[in-house]
Each structure stands twice: as structure tokens, then as C-alpha cells.
Amino acid sequence: MASASGIAAGLLLPFATLRASRIQSGIGVPSLDALESWQALALLLLWLSLAALSIGRGRAGALSAARGLVASGAIVALVWLSGDAAARLGALVGGFARVSVGAGVWVGVVAAQAVVLASRRELRPGGLWSSAVSLAAPAGVLALLASGALDATGMAREYANQGPRFWAEAGWHLALSAASAGLAVLVGVPLGVLAFRRRSTAGPILALVGAVQTIPGLAMIGILVAPLAQLSHALPWLRSVGFGGLGWAPVVIALTLYALLPVVRNTYAGLRGVPPETVDAGIGMGMTPLQVLARVRLPMAAPVITSGLRTAGVQAIGNATLGAFAAAGTLGLFVFGGLAQQSADLMMVGSVAIVVLAVGFDAVLRAVQRVLWPAKGGVAP
């Protein structure tokens, strides 16, 4: 399936998009024109071997790992070939020409990534093969980036244009997201505990944090701007730390409010999920209610709470994009800037960076969960 769509995408969709300058509309370049014939042949062979590996539908670990690794190879090959094609086409046209990654490549990468994910699912989580399959494609693409093989692509040129600004905004993006997720834990876990301890508060608390989700992100920031501006006006020292109607304050507050739902909900559910026998044992041995909470319930709910933090963090990284509208910077600047300038490459620079941040955060927390709670019982995440 994946191979078929990979080959079809390669044949039917443009491999690259060529523009005479960065803001002109582009023309699609088919694979056979963009690639040298041996490159096209090699790519075809890669897809065919992936198809052959998929026919042996066995769940055997070796076969799954092979599928994952070959698919990773296809991803790296596609990325490298588009870099190579960009260099060649760019030199051909010369001047201000921009060569973007074409739809054929994107579809191919998505198809191959689907195979990677499917094969990882069939491997033992946290095992050597699973890690190898997960890391092969990212490592390959990173190596390509470091080697300069992709420097001629439109995205790389946009990235080079931005210079150090890109990293400053990426860091800021991460900082705002992390601060929001952290605040959501500081506020959300106690709220979840309160909802659990006082059952009468559970309904209102869960309804409130749920209702926040229904407010669109831009509207939320808009709502916050005026009151925060007044607040900082009344308390001048707030302004000295950058707290005001615009800037980081409305963004962090909005992101925190969104992140509350997964944290509160998972804390509440995690605490409720602790088996009554275990709690009974704790009380029966003479733990005070507070000790039962701190030593039994919260530690046993921790995996579930961490899953909530994972959701909250990924959501915050996505929503932090809106910071661009509140004069708070973030990678959203490139996304919305690209949209405004009709520069797909600039937009992609921002989008890809956000996706990488979100996926990376999720992977790191998953790894933390695996290390801390390798299925030692407790409440399963």
C-alpha cells in the first residue's frame, strides 16, 4: 500500500517546485526531470523492496524491523534527492530561483513514515530494534542537514535568511510552552486533587477547565489583552518584567488555561483509578489520609498524570504559534509571515520546526515514562 502510493506519488506528483524568485508562483517538476535516471531507478527499487518485505505479512520481529529500516531509508533518500535536485535545478535556472520540496516528496515521506510507525508498533517497546527504527530516519535527515546536502532547497535558504532569529524564536517558543505546561501542572494537579477529595467540587472544576477548551485560541488571547494591559498599567513593576496586554503574558496565560484540562482530568482519573484494596491496605496499616494521598494515591496516579502533561505540552507547543499575534514572537512568526508573504518555504520552516518540537517533547516524556514505570503495576498510562 505504502509502496504503491510512494511510487504513484513519485510518478504523478511533482518532485520539486521551481520558482524564478521566492515570491513568484512555481511550476512543478516531475520526478523524471528532477532526478538523474539512476536516482529515479534507485528510488523505485527502494519502494519495490519495501513492497516485497510487506508481502511476507509475518509479524516476526526481524521482518518488521527490516520494513521499518527500509522505510526510514526511503525517507532519508527522498530528502537527500530533493536536496540534490534543488542544487541541480537551481544551478540550471540560476539567479534568484527557488526550488521547493514538491508534493511527490511529501506524500512519499508520509507514506514511508506510516510504514515506520506500523513497524514500530510490532516491535517490543523500548527495545533495541524499536529504538533503531524510531531513530534511523531522524538521524539520517539530521546528518543530511549537517552535511549541507540540503542547503540548496527553498526551506534551507529561507532558514539561512532568518539566521540566528530562527533559533531565538524557537527557544522562545519552547520557553513559553514549557512555562505554560509547568504552570498547568502547578495549578492543575492541586485542582485535580481537590476535585477528587471533595466530590462536590469535581463537577464544577471539570466543567470549567473543559469550557476553556471551547474558546478559540485567538479569541482567548484577545479577551486577555485588555484586562492585562489595565493590570500592568495599575502595577508599573509588572511592566518592567515584560508583563502586559501584549507579549508573553497573555500567551502564557492562554496556553496554561488550555493545558489545564488534560492535567486536571488525568489527575482526577488517575487518583480514582487507584484500586480500593490498595488504599484499604494503606489506611489499615495506619496511614493518615494525607499519607495515603502522598504515598499511595499520587505515586500510583503519576503515570496517568504524566500522560496528561504529555498531552498538555504537545497542545501548548502547537498553540504557542498564536504568540505571533500577541507580539510574543515564537515560531508562529515564520508560519504567519510565510502565509502573508505567500512564501510556502518560510511557512514550512516554521511548521516543520513546531512539529519537530512537539514530537520531540512527546518522545522525551514517553521515554521518561518508560524509565520510571516499566510496567511495574500501578495504574497503566
Partner 1 sequence: MISLEAVCRTYPGSERAAVSDVSLEVPAGEVCVLVGPSGCGKSTTLRMVNRLVEPDAGRVRLDGRDVRDIPPDSLRRGIGYAIQGVGLFPHWTVRENVGCVPGLLGWERGRVAGRVTELLELVGLDPERHASAYPSELSGGEAQRVGVARALAADPPVLLMDEPFGAVDPLTRERLQSEFAAIQRRLRKTVVFVTHDIDEAIRLGDSIAVMRDGRLVQHDRPERVLAYPADRFVLEFVGGERALRRLGLASVSEALGPVLEGWAPGASVSAGATMRDALTRILETGEPAVGVVDSDGRPIGSVSVEAIVERFGKPLS
Q: How far apart are CA 179 and CA 159, in angstroms?
A: 26
Size of the site for partner 1 (CB under 8 A): 21
Contacts for 114-118 with beta carbons within 8 Å, 24 or more apart? 114/2, 115/2, 115/50, 115/54, 115/67, 115/68, 115/71, 116/68, 116/71, 116/72, 116/75, 118/67
Per-residue binding string, partner 1, 260-299, x by CB under 8 A, is: ---------------x-xx-xxxxxxxxx--x---xx--x
Query: How near is the Cβ of 290 to partner 1 at its closest, in Å?
Result: 11
Of the two residues 236 and 276, which places its CB atom closer to partner 1 in the complex? 276
- Phi/psi-derived region of residue 29, left when phi > 0, alpha when psi is between -120 and 50, beta in every other case: beta
Of the two residues 288 and 342, which places its CB atom closer to partner 1 in the complex? 288
Query: How near is the Cβ of 191 to partner 1 at its closest, in Å?
Result: 23
Q: CA 259 → CA 171, 216, 256, 297, 369, distances in Å? A: 20, 14, 5, 22, 19
Of the two residues 138 and 299, which places its CB atom closer to partner 1 in the complex? 299
The Cβ of residue 261 has, within 10 Å, a number of other Cβ atoms equal to 22
Of the two residues 125 and 210, which places its CB atom closer to partner 1 in the complex? 125
The C-alpha cell at 367 is 521515554
Place of cell 484540562: 261
Of the two residues 94 and 284, which places its CB atom closer to partner 1 in the complex? 284
Of the two residues 95 and 284, which places its CB atom closer to partner 1 in the complex? 284
Query: How near is the Cβ of 194 to partner 1 at its closest, in Å?
Result: 23
Give strand pairing partners of 27. Answer: 18
Phi, psi torsion values for 287, nearest 5 degrees: -80, 145
The SS3 of residue 292 is: helix
The C-alpha cell at 15 is 518532485
Query: How near is the Cβ of 80 to partner 1 at its closest, in Å?
Result: 46
Of the two residues 21 and 200, which places its CB atom closer to partner 1 in the complex? 200
Q: Note the helical H segments in the chain.
A: 2-12, 31-34, 37-55, 61-93, 103-121, 128-147, 154-162, 164-197, 199-212, 217-234, 236-240, 248-272, 276-284, 289-291, 298-319, 332-340, 344-372
Q: How far apart are CA 84 and CA 90, in angstroms?
A: 10
Residues 100-159 that bind partner 1 (CB under 8 A): none
Q: Which residues does 346 contact at the CB level (< 8 Å), separation at least 6?
A: 158, 334, 337, 338
Per-residue binding string, partner 1, 21-60, x by CB under 8 A, is: ----------------------------------------
Query: How near is the Cβ of 295 to partner 1 at its closest, in Å?
Result: 8
Query: How near is the Cβ of 126 to partner 1 at its closest, in Å?
Result: 17
Residues in the chain: 381
Residues 217-246 that bind partner 1 (CB under 8 A): none
Cα of first residue to Cα of last residue in the chain, in angstroms, is 32
Single residue of 300, 324, 344, 348 touching partner 1 by CB under 8 A = 300
Query: How near is the Cβ of 199 to partner 1 at its closest, in Å?
Result: 15
Query: How near is the Cβ of 164 to partner 1 at its closest, in Å?
Result: 46
Kindly state whether residue 199 participates in binding partner 1, applying the rule CB under 8 A.
Answer: no
Of the two residues 189 and 292, which places its CB atom closer to partner 1 in the complex? 292
Query: How near is the Cβ of 376 to partner 1 at its closest, in Å?
Result: 5
Residues 352-381 that bind partner 1 (CB under 8 A): 375-378
Of the two residues 164 and 374, which places its CB atom closer to partner 1 in the complex? 374
Contacting positions for partner 1 (CB under 8 A): 275, 277-278, 280-288, 291, 295-296, 299-300, 375-378
